[in-house]
Structure 1
Amino acid sequence: MSHTALIPSHRKPRQSASKTALRAGVAGGVLSTIAVAGAAGPAQAEPVTQTIEMPTITAGLSTTVAASAEATQQVALDLETQANQDAAAATAAKAAKKAKAEAVRKAEAKKKAEAAAKAEAKAKAEAAERASRASRSTERTTLSAPSGSSSSSGSSVSTASAPAPSSASGSAASVVSFVQMQVGDAYVSGGTGPNSWDCSGLVQAAFRTVGVDLPRVSQSQSTAGTQVGLGNLQPGDILYWGGAGSAYHVGVYVGGGQFVGAQNSSTGVVQKSLDYDPPSGAVRVL
């Protein structure tokens, strides 16, 4: 046996003549049938009555349209909100500008009012100072006149606020004269003259005119000399209010039951009777 007898051949087997003839006859019959149908003409063709259904797209389209309408409405709302915000911002800015202008106007008006008040206060102070100086000048003229002197009309000149000429002499008279000349000056805490004083500043300045250097404060001045009783006072004695060594106020006895002192900011420097403000004690330096 050949060594290739069992290996199948890959070549197509040849068709038999009978199969070939059969296929040719079938093909010819089909072609003949087509030819006969074509010769019969269109009158013999059956009408096409089949209906074709188109796919329904209404559901998807409505969803799309609804989404588009919602988006359009949202855009409109956003635009309206933005417009409202812009209008509110413009209104707020206008109100703020108006408020600022009003505040500036009020500040200017307040500044002008304060300036006017200061000017008025200054004018009043100057007028009061002029009146005070005129009053002091009148009082000094009165104090310098002899007791019991008469005017051309025969009326006596009042000397009620002045001590008798013989009641003070020497250094005491100088101290008394000095403090009496300051009557009408202003009281200022810490003041040492020449036109404003506190109580101890006036007493210190008065004794300095006669070469006596007193301590600055009333507590020390109340123990600067010899303690004397209030029933044994002499012009030039230092009066004090409060305890000796802890006094809160001092003045100078000028005779005739009167004293001169820088009392307070309301009265200034005054000459008053001891009954007006009775002192606690007195010291004699001269």
Structure 2
Amino acid sequence: MSAFPRIPALASRAGTASALTAAMLAASVLIPGLATGAQAATSGEQALKVAASKKGSPYQYGATGPNRFDCSGLTLYSFKKVGKNLPRTAQSQYNSTRHLSSGSRQVGDLVFFHSGSNVYHVGIYAGSNKIWHSPKPGGSVRLEKIWTNSVWYGRVK
């Protein structure tokens, strides 16, 4: 009998740990600012992962998933998957969140695009001034830089 009978099992566990570490590093590249390691992910960060997993899903007006989305359908779907309820439209979602300054925004918060007092688009903040969103007809779910200063931020309660 070997003096080191547990080495294969330990090597196997180390391989699994390495694979998990690699997966977290890959996720942090896909989702800038995402918590890693022992930090517990907020519901917003969890919803962001859900939205990112829908990358490439086509835009469809009024769609709430699981394979097609409009902007507020993607946010509704993503938060619902992590146990949070949101209303259906971007304006209603804005009205139901805790409003934040841009300096207080965090990964997983909602970003609301507005014209005057009218909210017309929503995405999930991914850090580095980027959002995951379902942009428009002919587009698909993607990570994109915030293109305007006419945005408000909200945190799902």
CA-to-aligned-CA distance 1:215-257 (integer Å, 9 cap, x gap): 1011111121111112321011111111586311111112232
Bigger helix share: 1
- Which residue number corresponds to residue 87 of structure 2? 215
SS in 1 for 2:118: coil
| Equivalent residue pairs, number | 133
C-alpha contact 2:91 2:118 (8 A) present in aligned 1: yes
For 2:34 and 2:75, the matched residues in 1 are separated by: 21
- Structure 1 residue 163 corresponds to structure 2 residue 32: yes
- Which residue number corresponds to residue 23 of structure 2? 145
Bigger strand share: 2
- Structure 1 residue 283 corresponds to structure 2 residue 151: no
C-alpha contact 2:33 2:107 (8 A) present in aligned 1: no
For 1:244 and 1:213, the matched residues in 2 are separated by: 26
C-alpha contact 1:219 1:244 (8 A) present in aligned 2: no
Q: TM-score, normalised by structure 1?
A: 0.42
SS in 2 for 1:264: coil
1:266 Cα deviation (Å)? 2.5
For 1:222 and 1:238, the matched residues in 2 are separated by: 8
C-alpha contact 2:66 2:77 (8 A) present in aligned 1: no
For 2:65 and 2:74, the matched residues in 1 are separated by: 7
Q: CA RMSD in A?
A: 2.5
1:258 Cα deviation (Å)? 1.5
* Greater C-alpha Rg: 1
Q: 1:188 aligns with which of 45, 49, 60?
A: 60
Q: 1:209 to 1:146 in 2, by over 3 A?
A: closer
**Unmatched tracts of structure 2, length 5 or more:** 1-21
- Structure 1 residue 248 corresponds to structure 2 residue 117: no
SS in 2 for 1:222: helix
Greater relative contact order structure (CA < 8 Å, 6+ sep)? 2
